[in-house]
C-alpha cells in the first residue's frame, strides 16, 4: 500500500510541471509565436521541476531498497530463529527418549528385550522419517516464499521503470511545446497530463496485480506445507501405533504366560509323601 501511495505522488509532480507552463501560456494567449527569452524561461521551469522529480525518484528508490533489505533481513531472522527453536526442541525430545529408554532397559526382563529393542528401533525410524518430511515441507515452503517475493520485487521494479520511462518521454515531448504557440502549448499540456496519469495508473495496476499474485502464491504454498506436515504426522502415528501394538502384544503375552505359570503353581497341590 505504501508503494501505491508513493506512486501517486507523481501526479502532484505533474501538477507542479503543468502549473507554470499553464501560466506561461496564459501570458501569451494572443501570441502566434514564442520569443527566445520566453522559450528559455519555459525550458528552465520544466528543468527545475524535472530536477525536483528526479530528487523524489532518488528518495523513492532509496526507501524501496531499504525496505527490500529490511524484509529480507526479517525473513532471514525469522527462519533462523525457528530453525534454532526446532533444533533445541528435537535435542530435548531425543534426550527425554534416551532417559526413558535407559530406565526401561534397566527393568526389562530378558525375555522381552528383543521385542523392546525392535519397538525402539521402529520408533526411532518413524521419528527420523517424520523429521525428514517436516524439513522437506518447510524447505519447499521457504523456497516458494522466496520465489514469490522475488517475483513481486521484479514486477514492482519493472512497473516503476516503465512508469518513469513514460513520464520522461512525456516531459521530453512537453519541452517541444516551449517554442510553439499558446494554443499548441495547451494541447501539449493536456497530452502531457494524460500521459502521466496513464503511466501512474498502469504502474499502480501492475503493482496491485503483483501484490495479489504474491498473496495467492503464499497462500498456496502455506496450504501445500500444511498438507505435507499433516501427512507426516499421520504417517508417524500410523507407523508408531503399528510398532506399539507389536510391542504391547509381546509384552502382554509374556506377562500372561508368567501369570498362568504362577497360577498353575498355586492351584496344583503339592504331592504328599506316604
Residue-level pLDDT at 273: 55
Cα torsion 45, 47, 51, 54: sign: positive
Domain boundaries along the sequence of the chain: 2-98+111-253
CA distance 196 to 218: 33
Give Cα 218 to chain centroid, integer Å.
6
Instruction: Find all residues with CB under 8 Å of 145, minimum gap 6, and list them.
Output: 75, 218, 221
- Give me the tens of pLDDT residue by residue for the chain, a chain 274 residues long: 444 444 444 444 445 444 444 444 444 444 445 567 778 888 888 888 888 889 999 999 999 899 889 988 998 999 999 999 999 999 999 999 999 999 999 999 999 999 999 999 999 999 999 999 999 999 999 999 999 999 999 999 999 999 999 999 999 988 888 888 778 888 888 999 999 999 999 999 999 999 999 999 999 999 999 999 999 999 999 999 999 999 999 999 999 988 888 877 766 555 555 5
Q: Is 73 exposed, middle or buried (0-12, 13-18, 19+ CB in 10 A)?
A: exposed
Helices 113-175, 36-107: axis angle to 10 degrees equals 180
Amino acid at each position: 500500500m505504501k508503494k501505491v501511495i508513493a506512486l501517486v505522488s507523481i501526479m502532484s509532480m505533474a501538477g507542479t510541471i503543468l502549473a507554470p507552463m499553464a501560466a506561461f501560456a496564459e501570458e501569451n494567449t494572443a501570441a502566434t509565436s514564442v520569443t527566445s527569452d520566453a522559450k528559455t524561461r519555459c525550458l528552465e521551469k520544466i528543468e527545475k521541476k524535472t530536477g525536483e522529480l528526479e530528487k523524489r525518484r532518488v528518495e523513492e528508490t532509496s526507501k524501496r531498497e531499504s525496505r527490500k533489505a529490511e524484509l529480507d533481513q526479517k525473513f532471514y531472522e525469522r527462519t533462523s530463529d525457528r530453525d534454532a527453536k526446532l533444533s533445541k526442541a528435537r535435542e530435548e525430545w531425543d534426550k527425554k527418549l534416551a532417559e526413558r529408554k535407559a530406565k526401561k532397559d534397566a527393568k526389562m526382563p530378558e525375555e522381552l528385550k528383543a521385542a523392546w529393542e525392535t519397538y525402539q528401533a521402529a520408533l526411532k525410524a518413524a521419528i527420523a522419517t517424520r523429521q525428514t518430511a517436516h524439513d522437506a515441507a518447510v524447505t519447499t515452503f521457504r523456497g516458494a516464499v522466496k520465489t514469490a517475493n522475488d517475483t513481486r520485487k521484479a514486477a514492482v521494479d519493472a512497473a516503476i521503470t516503465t512508469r518513469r520511462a513514460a513520464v520522461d518521454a512525456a516531459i521530453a515531448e512537453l519541452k517541444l511545446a516551449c517554442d510553439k504557440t499558446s494554443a499548441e502549448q495547451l494541447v501539449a499540456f493536456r497530452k502531457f497530463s494524460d500521459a502521466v496519469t496513464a503511466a501512474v495508473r498502469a504502474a499502480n495496476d501492475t503493482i496491485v496485480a503483483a501484490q495479489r499474485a504474491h498473496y495467492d502464491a503464499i497462500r498456496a504454498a502455506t496450504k501445500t506445507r500444511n498438507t505435507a506436515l499433516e501427512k507426516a504426522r499421520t504417517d508417524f502415528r500410523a507407523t508408531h501405533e503399528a510398532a506399539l501394538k507389536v510391542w504391547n502384544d509381546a509384552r502382554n503375552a509374556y506377562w500372561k504366560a508368567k501369570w498362568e505359570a504362577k497360577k498353575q503353581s498355586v492351584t496344583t497341590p503339592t504331592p504328599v509323601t506316604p
